[in-house]
Amino acid sequence: MVLFTIAEPGLGRARQVIRRKRAAGIDLGTTNSLVAVAREGKAEVIADVHGQRLLPSVVQYRADGSHVVGSDAMSPVADATIITSSKRLLGRSRADITYQLPYVLDASAQEGMVRIETVAGPVSPVQVAADILQSLAERAQTESGGELDGVVITVPAYFDESQRQATRAAARIAGLKVLRLLNEPTAAAVAYGLDKQLQGTIIIYDLGGGTFDVSLMRLHNGVFEVLAIGGDSALGGDDIDRAIAGWMQQQAGSSGMTIEDYRQLLQQSRAAKHALTAASTTTVTIGSWQTQLTRDILHQLLDGFIETTLKACRRVLRDAGLTIADVTDVVLVGGSTRTPRVQQKVQEFFGRAPLCSINPDEVVALGAALQADVLVGNKYGDAALLLDVMPLSLGIETMGGLMEKIIPRNSTLPVVRAQEFTTFKDGQTVMTFHVFQGERELVSDCRSLARFELRGIPPMVAGAARIKVSFQVDADGLLEVQAEELTSGIKSSSVVKPSFGLAEHDIVDMIKASIESAAADKVRRTLRERQVEARRHIESLQAALQQDGDNLLSADEKHKLEQVMQELAVAATGEDALLIERLTESLNNLSRDFAGRRMDAGIKAALAGQRLDSLGDKL
């Protein structure tokens, strides 16, 4: 008799050993950066060989072409240039930089993204970011035991299209596969939601070294839904440091500092800010001048910045149709939230103590690591579903300089929206699409992102062509636009890759201006629409008169039409929308009989030489 063998549990011959994929979450910060990895659903920040978990976002470029990243880059050496806070320069043009920097920008780069002068030659902020990312990736690879299969990199929720593209470019230069760009507040929510099982309607208040974000989220059973976002992509601890430095210069009567002097002054300002977290006073020095900086003075310097962040919180609640009473928890993120004054003001505003049980410096990297672990294919338990939103509306320019919004702000990502448009002139075979980002009714008040053309449209009468324009925004907030003429199937598309980003406070100002100017914008939009409609009627009628006016109209009828057309053409250049509307209606009434005669003439021409019985066969 044959006996069958039974394997010990877990030791079956068919068992396969599957390699766990290596992934990491990276918080690319303005002041400090971190990298974290997740194992079995638990994330941890990776330290360097000296046990330091935070990597200062500093790169030193040397004349011999080498560079140093992190703490070692902060010490001045001969023939070297130290670059700090370069994240604020990602996707920025020279016109966007309105504050003093502790280094010199390349004067030859007048257009596109700024470049920084160094002893090794001009360096792009993208390259600086790439060097920081590469240093972080090496930590993760050492810890994981091999090359990374992918990373999640966090970005401020208010980063615009060009800033996100610049971040992706830096990752490519560093040789990293980006699984996703994850908004920093969302990453923090992931860390709290999965680690602390936080549920409800949450405010993520994220004040970092160079950016401020506020996200209103709903967390329920593993679904992270962003309801609304706000903030300022150029407000953070750096601005507080500059305010302290400015106060010190004013008190000391000091001016005309060298770049190196100003860099050291910023370092002293930052040290004083940190010291006042625990102490009530600290000593500050400029040259031979010395005085005491008190916590009360620091509060005076801080309160304006804090009030700006709280205004953004009010706006986010209003956007979502909620009140402070609807918020169940407030989570603090970012090193600048360690400041007692920030915590005090946030608690007073929301009426509850904010949560900061997870290190605010590390929470973003931890959340990114958890998400990276899921996206790379390592699943432990139920994966979190993230639903982020667009910070600003996206649309295209239509006739009259109007902004036609296709994807409104606070739309859940990823998102695909489409809308149909048509031609303005008879026989039009090309359409130019101008993509904009903003909240106003006219494109002159919004920000240009990209242009592309659709060629080969079959020639038709104005208004007959059907052009479908589709906007697709992926989970990273990156946009692709496609236009298709539906009768012919001709297509054209563009991945939006602007050369530089929004100026400081532009996004906040755009939303604020859209609210304050809503009524006036509607009036202006109505005027532009009537001007466009008037010009369209005039052009169509001119073409009809040229073809059939002498045959189908008496001299008096033709004169009356031309007279009203002239009056409408003059009115269409003015600002009286009611006059344009009245004259357009008058022209429509006068031309109605002419249109009917043209239709009758066209039918007679089509029927000429046809027998009734043959027409019956065709019908």
CATH number at residue 410: 2.60.34.10
Q: Identify the bridge partners of residue 431 per DSSP, sorted by sequence position.
A: 454
My answer on whether 371 and 497 are in the same domain is no
Confidence at residue 347, expressed as pLDDT on a 0 to 100 scale: 95
My answer on whether 91 and 27 are in the same domain is yes
Confidence at residue 16, expressed as pLDDT on a 0 to 100 scale: 42
Confidence at residue 294, expressed as pLDDT on a 0 to 100 scale: 93
Domain contains 550: yes
Confidence at residue 303, expressed as pLDDT on a 0 to 100 scale: 93
My answer on whether 512 and 536 are in the same domain is no
Look up the domain containing 438 and give its range.
394-516
**Looking at 516, 547, 580, which one is the last position of a domain?**
516
My answer on whether 507 and 543 are in the same domain is no
My answer on whether 568 and 464 are in the same domain is no
Domain contains 17: no
Domain contains 460: yes
My answer on whether 483 and 568 are in the same domain is no
**Looking at 491, 516, 541, which one is the last position of a domain?**
516
Are 308 and 314 contacting, i.e. CB atoms less than 8 angstroms apart? no
329 is catalytic: no
Confidence at residue 560, expressed as pLDDT on a 0 to 100 scale: 84
Annotated catalytic residue within 149, 160, 184, 485: 184
My answer on whether 326 and 407 are in the same domain is no
Provide the CA 499 distance to its chain's centre, in angstroms: 14
* DSSP type of residue 146: S
The CATH number linked to 62 is: 3.30.420.40
My answer on whether 381 and 462 are in the same domain is no
**Looking at 341, 364, 387, which one is the last position of a domain?**
387
My answer on whether 223 and 333 are in the same domain is yes
Domain contains 445: yes
Domain contains 198: yes
C-alpha distances in Å from residue 374, one per residue of 16, 105, 380, 385: 21, 40, 8, 10
* DSSP type of residue 466: -
Domain contains 229: yes
Confidence at residue 508, expressed as pLDDT on a 0 to 100 scale: 46
Count of residues in the chain: 619
Tell me how far apart the alpha carbons of residues 598 and 608 are, in angstroms, rounded to a whole number.
Answer: 15
Q: What angle do CA 212, 24, 10 make, to 5 degrees?
A: 140
Q: Is the C-alpha dihedral spanning 254, 257, 260, 265 positive or negative? A: positive
My answer on whether 420 and 548 are in the same domain is no
Are 385 and 222 contacting, i.e. CB atoms less than 8 angstroms apart? yes
184 is catalytic: yes
Give the number of domains in the chain.
Answer: 3
Looking from the CA of 75 toward its CB, the CA atoms found within 13 Å total 2
Annotated catalytic residue within 131, 160, 206, 362: 206
87 is catalytic: yes
- Quote the tokens at residue 451: 């242009």
Confidence at residue 90, expressed as pLDDT on a 0 to 100 scale: 87
Domain contains 276: no
My answer on whether 371 and 402 are in the same domain is no
* Strand locations in 148-221 (E): 150-155, 178-183, 200-207, 212-220
Tell me how far apart the alpha carbons of residues 240 and 46 are, in angstroms, rounded to a whole number.
Answer: 29
My answer on whether 68 and 31 are in the same domain is yes
Neighbouring residues of 429: CB distance < 8 A, sequence distance ≥ 6: 455, 456, 457, 458, 459
Annotated catalytic residue within 87, 273, 345, 405: 87
Annotated catalytic residue within 27, 96, 213, 361: 27
Tell me how far apart the alpha carbons of residues 79 and 64 are, in angstroms, rounded to a whole number.
Answer: 9
Domain contains 287: no
548 is catalytic: no
Positions in the chain whose pLDDT score sits under 50: 1-7, 10-18, 498-508, 510-511, 612, 615, 618-619
Confidence at residue 349, expressed as pLDDT on a 0 to 100 scale: 96
